[in-house]
Amino acid sequence: MAKRKSPSDHDKLVVKAAESLNQNSDFKNIQADVKGYSTPSEINWKGDESGHIPDLKAVGTKTSKEFIFEVETDDSISDNHTEDQWRLFAAYAKQNNGVFYVIVPKGSKQKAESRLKDLELEGKVWAL
């Protein structure tokens, strides 16, 4: 698992993202893996009990698409655990006509985009 320099930085970014989604009329049913929110359900590989809980999930109000959001701090982008999560969430989004987003702090967007490209995963990066 990623050893973050500051787990609180991660949680602060999750809260900031959840608040942004709540203020955006394009999203509903917002769940976040932090205190004060309903926790998203674990996403598992088909035929396997292993899985991960995404940091945030929401439903698009216009498209009813499911949005999966995973928050990373600069020091966790290149971690092996992060790769496992991204592969699962990107595959889940693709199989379910959803959208996978990686949320990173400002200044880490290019690093996250490069990592997605290197891993050949479909996803978008949102810098907060």
Please state the rounded mean pLDDT for residues 68-97: 95
Note the pLDDT of residue 6.
Answer: 59
Note the pLDDT of residue 4.
Answer: 52
pTM of the shown model = 0.91
Note the pLDDT of residue 47.
Answer: 79
Note the pLDDT of residue 2.
Answer: 46
Note the pLDDT of residue 1.
Answer: 44
Please state the rounded mean pLDDT for residues 18-43: 94
Identify the architecture of domain 7-43+50-127 in CATH. 3-Layer(aba) Sandwich (3.40)
Q: Is the pLDDT of residue 7 over 80?
A: no
94 or 49, greater pLDDT? 94
pLDDT tens readout for residues 113-128: 999 999 999 999 999 9
Range 75-82 contact pairs with CB under 8 angstroms and sequence separation of 24 or more: 75/2, 75/3, 75/4, 75/5, 76/2, 76/4, 76/10, 77/104, 77/108, 77/111, 77/112, 77/115, 78/111, 78/115, 79/1, 79/2, 81/1, 81/2, 82/2, 82/115
